[in-house]
Structure 1
C-alpha cells in the first residue's frame, strides 16, 4: 500500500539547487503521509458510531469509505496530469490544506450525502499529496540519502496503520467520531504549515498527458499483473471497514478493541517491511503466494471463530488480526516489483497506476462488504477470504505463464 512515486524529472532538475537538506527535513513530509494514511483508514475505527450519528445503517455509512477510495483511484491520474507543471511546494501545501479543511467539513457533516462529498474532496487532496511527497523527499536530500528519505516518508503511511487508526478509536470513544476527524484535519493543517516553512521551492515536472499515463496499461507486463492489485486489495478490505462489527461478532470486549487494532497495525508494519526484504531474496511470486495463503487463513480463521465465538479465544483473535494485517500489507512491495519489471522504463507511471489500482480494489471490497454486512459481520470475512483465494489462484497462474514464457 505504500505507493509513493519518485519522479526522476523533479529529482534531477532540482538536485543542483535543493539536494542539500538532511533527513530531518523529510519528517514534515512524513507527517503529511501520516495524516493521509490516517484519514484513509480511520473510518473503520468508528463506523458504527458514525452511522448512529448520521441516522443510517453501518452498511450505508460504509459507502463513505467506498467513495473515498473510488475517488482516489479515478482522480489520481487526472490530478497528476493536470498539476504536473505546478511547483511542488505549492502543490503539497495546497493538498494538505484542502485535506485538512475537508476533514473538518466531514466532521461537521449533518447527512451522509454531504459526508460523502467531503470524503471525495479529501480523496482528491490525498491523491495530489502522496505521490509527490516521495518525489520531493528524493529531490531535497543528497543522492546517498534518497532511499532513507523515501523510507521516512513511507513510514508515515505505515505509522498511520499501526497507530493512527487505534488512536482514532481512542479519540472516538473518549470524545466522538467527529472529534477524530477534526484531529486529522488539524494534523493535516500542521503538516501544511511545516511544508511551507521547511521545504525549498521546487519546479514542476515535465508534462505527461493523461493519455500517456494510461497508455502503459496496454503493456502485457502491466495488463496481466495489475488486476492482481485490485483483487488483493478487494479481498483484504471487504471486511476491513467493518472491523468493529467483526470484533463484536467475535465477542471481543470493548476494552480490548483498541488492542486488536494495534495487533492488526503491528502485523501491517511487519508485512510491509518483511515482504520487501523477502522479495529481494526469493522473488515476488513466492512472497505474493505466501501472502494470499496467509490472508485466506487469517480471514477464514476469524470467520470460523465467529461461528462459535468465545471470550476465551481472544488470544487467537489477536494472532489472526496480526496475520490479517501482515498479509494485507505484504502485497504492495512484490506487486510493484512485478509491475516495474514489466515496464522498467516507465517505473513512476506504473507505480502511480498501481496506487490507483489499490484504491480501486479498496472501493470494490468495501462495496462488497457493505452488501455482505446484511448477512452479518461473519459474512464479510467469508467474502474476503473467497476473494483472497481467487487472488491466490491468479498469482499462481500468472507466475506459471511468466515461467513458461521465460
Structure 2
C-alpha cells in the first residue's frame, strides 16, 4: 500500500545524478522496509506493551491508531512544506527522525510518551516514503523507472510478509522494546547508506495544499476515495489486535508469528496479483472479489471463535486470504482514481495514501473498542464492514467517472 507519488518534475529533474541501473534503489527499499515494519510491528505484541505500560490492550492499540492518523494528516502537509528541500538531505533527515522516534518508543515509560513518539515516527515515515519513490525513478534510465518504483514498493510488501512476523518473534524472545531498538538501528544504518550513496538531487516546486485538496471536489474522486478508507477500516479492525484475536481461534505463542507470516505472504501475493488482474478484468471486479474474500475470511474466523473448534490449518488459510484481500485494494483503487481525474494523478495517489492510513486508524479504534467483547465480535464487525465496502463499491461503480 504505497503512498509514493511522483511528479513529472521530480522524475525528470536529475541535476547531479547519472542515470544508471537499479543498484542504489536497494538502499531506498531498505528504508521502506524499515517504515513498513515500524508501522505495524507493535501489532504483534500489543498485550506485552499493555502489560508493560499498565494499560488495557485496547489502550495500547492507540499506538497503532495515532501512527496511522498522524501519517494520514501529515502526508500532504509534509509534502508541501518540504518540497524545496534537497532530496538526499530529506531522506537522511527522515530516517534519522524515524530512528530517534523508535528509540523513544523503546524507552517509553508510559502510554502518553509512547503516543508522542509514534506521532514523530509517522511524520518521518510520511516524509520518507514518497521521497524514496520520487528519487528511485530519478536514479535510473527511463526504461527502468517502473522497476525502480517496484523495488521501493517491494520494501513495504516484504515488511508485511517478513518484518512484522520477525518483529513478533524477536519481541517474544527479547521483549517489544528490543524489537523497536532493532528498527531504530535499521533506520540509522539506512540513513548512513543513503547519505553515502544517494546523489545530490534538488527539491521541486511546491504544490500548494489547497491544490492538493481541490481534487476532492471531483465527482469521481468523491465517489471512489471513501471506499479506500472503508476497505482499510474493515481490513484493520482486527489486525492490530492479532494476538488476542488469534488466541480466540486457538492460536497463541509461536503460532501467532506463523499466522502473521501467512497473512504477509497473502498480502504480497494479493498486491501483485490485483495489479495484473485489474488490467485484464477491470478494477471493480477485482475489488468485488477482494471484499467478498475478506468478508468470507472474517466470517470463517468468527465461526471458529463461536464454536471453539481448533483448526490451525483453516486459520492459516484464512489468514493468507485475509492478507490478500486487505492488500489487493490499492492497485485497483488507484486505477479508478487516476481514470477519474488523469491530470491530477500524483495528487490522487497521495490522497489515496492518506485515506489508507485514516482507514487503518479507524479500524484500530473500532477493534480496540471490541476487544473486551471477544474475538468473535471483532471478526464479525470486520465481516460487516467488508460487506459494507462491497455495497459501497456496487453503488459507486455505476458512477460514469469511475473505472469499471
CA contact (8 A) 1:19 1:143 kept: no
Partner of 1:293: 292
**Partner in structure 1 of residue 89 of structure 2:** 90
Q: Distance between the aligned counterparts of 1:343 and 1:63, measured in 2? A: 35
Uncovered stretches (5+) of structure 1, i.e. residues with no partner? none
> Could you tell me how far 1:6 is from its partner in structure 2?
1.8
| Cα deviation code 1:248-303 (max 9, x no counterpart) | 11111423221111110110011000000101100100000000000000111111
1:57-102 Cα distance to aligned partner (Å, 9 max, x none):
1010001111000000111101111111111111111001000110
Identify the range of structure 1 (376-385 vs 182-191) with the bigger mean alpha-carbon deviation: 376-385
1:18: which partner in 2? 17
TM normalised by structure 1 equals 0.97
Provide the C-alpha distance between the structure 2 equivalents of 1:404 and 1:315, rounded to a whole number of angstroms.
Answer: 39
Give per-residue Cα distances to partners, 1:22-70, cap 9 Å, x unaligned: 2011000000000000000111111111111101110100011110000
Structure 1 residues 125 and 405: CA distance shift in structure 2, 3 A:
closer
Q: Does 1:124 align with 2:123?
A: yes
Partner of 1:155: 154
CA distance in 2, matches of 1:133, 1:197: 15
Distance 1:282 1:172 in 2: 42
Alignment of 1:1-400 (within 5 A): 1-14=1-14, 17-311=16-310, 313-400=311-398
How many Å separate the matches in 2 of 1:60 and 1:105?
18
- When residues 126 and 319 of structure 1 are mapped into structure 2, their CA distance, relative to the original with a 3 A threshold, is same
The CA distance in 2 between the partners of 1:19 and 1:220, in whole Å, is 42
Alignment partners' CA distance in 1, 2:403 and 2:40: 39
Alpha-carbon distance in 2 for matches of 1:207, 1:4: 16
Query: Matches of 1:224 and 1:178 in 2, distance apart?
Result: 42
Please give the secondary structure, in 2, of the residue aligned with 1:4.
coil
Give the whole-Å Cα distance in 2 for the aligned partners of 1:283 and 1:253. 39
Q: Tell me, in whole angstroms, the C-alpha distance in 1 between the residues paired with 2:45 and 2:336.
A: 36
The CA RMSD measured in Å over matched residues stands at: 1.4
Alpha-carbon separation, structure 2, partners of 1:255 and 1:145? 41
Aligned equivalents of 1:292, 1:348: Cα separation in 2: 26
Q: Secondary structure at the match of 1:18?
A: coil
Q: Which stretch has the larger CA shift, 166-175 or 247-256? A: 247-256
1:287-337 per-residue CA deviation (whole Å, 9 max, x = no partner) reads: 0000000000011111111112233x1100000000000000000000000
Task: List structure 1 runs of 4+ shifted beyond 6 angstroms.
Answer: 403-406
Structure 1 residue 405 displacement after superposition: 11
The 1-side partners of 2:120 and 2:253 are apart by 32
The 1:301/1:207 distance shift into structure 2, 3 A limit, reads: same
Give the distance between the partners of 1:79 and 1:54, measured in 2 at CA: 31
**Alpha-carbon distance between aligned partners in 2 of 1:5 and 1:404, rounded to the nearest angstrom:** 20
CA distance in structure 2 between the aligned counterparts of 1:387 and 1:126, rounded to whole angstroms? 28
* Partners of 1:271 and 1:327 within 8 A in 2: yes
**Partner of 2:69: helix, strand, or coil?**
helix
Tell me, yes or no, if the aligned pair for 1:242 and 1:377 is still in contact at 8 Å.
no
Paired residue secondary structure (1:401): coil
SS in 1 for 2:398: helix
> Following TM superposition, by how much is the alpha carbon of 1:172 offset from its aligned partner in structure 2, in angstroms?
0.4
- After TM superposition, give the deviation of residue 109 of structure 1 in Å: 0.3
Distance 2:253 2:339 in 1: 46
Name the stretch that deviates more: 231-240 or 370-379: 370-379
Query: For 1:250, what is the secondary structure of its paired residue?
Result: coil
Shift of 1:401: 3.0
Distance 1:405 1:78 in 2: 29
Tell me how far apart the structure 1 counterparts of residues 343 and 241 of structure 2 sit (CA, whole Å). 40
- CA separation in 1, counterparts of 2:309 and 2:253? 14
